[in-house]
């Protein structure tokens, strides 16, 4: 019997995919769950996968690799999609694809499968990962093949086969959770006119229910990588977990946005990224102090392209690897500490210091100084503005003004 390895979350879609793969293709289904920090969600999965018809379940602890090799490179790049989305689902998919391929090769499987829909971005992210790492493997995407057309249909399919699922027709959010974030889609969120409700939040308290006094947190960086919280050195996973608790308690990191999907449509989602929001803000503050103007501004342009590559699932591409080399070069002096004030959903800078600071108080002061000759500015302005002056003279001679 040929084998298929399924990226299994235990959610509605992947739960019904197991019997569908067996009924449709005659496959032996091996389930694989990537532990990316979902926490308690992982506990019932093995029993559930077997009851759903899988022959076995691999649960792979990928938290360290996820944070160090996927989250932190994106953080250092400053990549944020469309100014709001911190890419929590996007950079998880290539790692899951990588592990799917590894287990497929170990098990001698002929195919891998995923539960992404034909409307979403994740189908692209999974399949580009497989194409880059194991192009010989077949990829089965049931949502592009079966007759199920809605989550309501999927619930009916599950109930007919006695498969327990974590959603109902009344509570029908599609969620994705890892150590970086949790996303919420579907239900009333499908209308951008509807406000998000506080009852959907799982990692973050509503800002209005956050403490009435601010919380201060200090992040230590070494070459662009966060290494300490409040002076305590921590490993990558523990650091992010701690910041999730601190940020979540202060209502930080809630994003409600309408985004442009890769496949051409707009979608609406609510993201909770409490620790990630703190790190992105802190890293930006550190760069503002330690990077020169030309490098900072060019890096901002590059960050937009980097975010698109991650969002589009092109993680295993030469361009991303080349951009990483540029980013790492810029991060050599991004070392120091950033202090932030968290207050009812807001992140406010409260002081930044670095041994590589480019801020010179003597140059910047409004008080009397002995190092800056203000008269020098006249010659600079004359040269800097020379093209404008020449154009104005030409336009006057040509009667254009």
pLDDT tens, residue by residue, 337-394: 999 999 999 999 999 999 999 999 888 777 766 788 889 999 999 999 999 999 999 9
Closest CA to 152 of 269, 12, 45: 12
8 A C-beta contact, residue 288 and residue 299 = no
Q: Is 81 annotated as a binding residue?
A: no
Q: Does 170 score more than 70 pLDDT?
A: no
Please report the beta strands in 194-322, taking only residues with DSSP state E, as ranges in sequence order.
215-222, 225-229, 232-233, 254-260, 266-272
Closest CA to 215 of 247, 241, 242, 183: 247
DSSP character for 27?
P
pLDDT tens, residue by residue, 191-244: 999 999 999 999 999 999 999 999 999 999 999 999 999 999 999 999 999 999
- Grade residue 41 by pLDDT with cuts at 50, 70 and 90: confident
Which domains does the chain possess? 3-62+91-172 (3.40.50.620), 181-291+334-353 (3.90.1260.10), 364-397 (no CATH)
Q: Is 238 annotated as a binding residue?
A: no
- Arithmetic mean of pLDDT over the chain: 95
Using DSSP's 3-state secondary structure scheme, residue 6 falls into strand
Concatenated DSSP letters for 11-56? SHHHHHHHHHHHHHH-PEEEEEEEESS-GGGGTTHHHHHHHHT-SE
Gap between the Cα atoms of 310 and 306, Å rounded = 6
Query: Please, what sign has the CA dihedral across residues 78, 82, 85, 89?
Result: negative
Q: Is 174 annotated as a binding residue?
A: yes
8 A C-beta contact, residue 10 and residue 44 = yes
Q: Is 34 annotated as a binding residue?
A: yes
Average pLDDT rounded to a whole number, residues 155-172: 77
Gap between the Cα atoms of 82 and 258, Å rounded = 10
8 A C-beta contact, residue 33 and residue 10 = yes
Q: Is 13 annotated as a binding residue?
A: yes
Residue 181 pLDDT = 98
Closest CA to 82 of 259, 270, 256, 254: 259
Query: What pTM does this model have?
Result: 0.94
Active-site positions read 13, 93, 122, 174
Q: Which helix or strand (DSSP H or E) is residue 351 part of? A: strand 346-353
Q: CA-CA distances (angstroms) from residue 69 to 65, 79, 197, 321, 376?
A: 5, 15, 34, 12, 47
Q: Is 129 annotated as a binding residue?
A: no
CB atoms under 10 Å from CB of 248, counted, come to 21
Q: Which residues have a Cβ under 8 Å from the Cβ of 388 and sit 6 or more positions away?
A: none
Gap between the Cα atoms of 260 and 222, Å rounded = 34
């Amino acid at each position: 019997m040929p084998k298929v390895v399924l990226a299994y979350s235990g959610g509605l879609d992947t739960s019904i995919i197991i019997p569908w793969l067996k009924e449709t293709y005659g496959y032996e289904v091996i389930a694989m769950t990537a532990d990316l920090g979902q926490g308690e969600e992982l506990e019932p999965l093995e029993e559930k996968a077997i009851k759903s018809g899988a022959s076995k379940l691999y649960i792979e602890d990928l938290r360290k690799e996820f944070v160090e090799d996927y989250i932190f490179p994106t953080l250092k790049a400053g990549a944020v999609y469309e100014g709001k989305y911190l890419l929590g689902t996007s950079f998880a998919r290539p790692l899951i694809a990588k592990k799917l391929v590894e287990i497929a090769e170990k098990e001698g499987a002929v195919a891998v499968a995923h539960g992404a829909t034909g409307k979403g971005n994740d189908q692209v992210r999974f399949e580009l990962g497989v194409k880059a790492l194991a192009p010989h493997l077949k990829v089965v995407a049931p949502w592009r093949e079966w007759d199920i057309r809605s989550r309501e249909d999927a619930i009916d399919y599950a109930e007919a086969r006695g498969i327990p699922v974590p959603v109902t027709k009344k509570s029908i959010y599609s969620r994705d959770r890892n150590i970086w974030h949790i996303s919420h889609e579907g239900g009333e969120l499908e209308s951008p006119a509807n406000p998000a409700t506080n009852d959907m939040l799982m990692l973050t308290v509503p800002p209005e229910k956050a403490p009435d006094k601010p919380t201060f947190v200090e992040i230590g960086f070494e070459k662009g990588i966060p290494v300490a919280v409040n002076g305590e050195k921590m490993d990558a996973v523990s650091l992010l977990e701690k910041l999730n608790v601190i940020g979540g308690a202060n209502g930080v990191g809630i994003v409600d946005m309408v985004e442009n999907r890769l496949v051409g449509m707009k979608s609406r989602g609510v993201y909770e990224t409490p620790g990630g929001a703190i790190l992105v803000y802190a890293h930006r503050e550190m760069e503002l102090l330690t990077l020169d103007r030309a490098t900072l501004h060019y890096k901002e342009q590059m960050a937009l392209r980097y975010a698109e590559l991650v969002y589009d699932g092109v993680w295993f591409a030469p361009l991303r690897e080349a951009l990483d080399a540029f980013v790492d070069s810029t991060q050599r002096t991004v070392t120091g500490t950033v202090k932030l004030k968290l207050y009812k959903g807001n992140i406010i800078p409260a002081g930044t210091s670095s041994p590589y600071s480019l801020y010179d108080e003597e140059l910047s002061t409004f008080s009397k100084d002995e190092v800056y000759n203000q008269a020098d500015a006249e010659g600079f302005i004359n040269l800097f503005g020379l093209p404008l002056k020449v154009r104005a003279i030409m336009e006057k001679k040509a009667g254009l003004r």
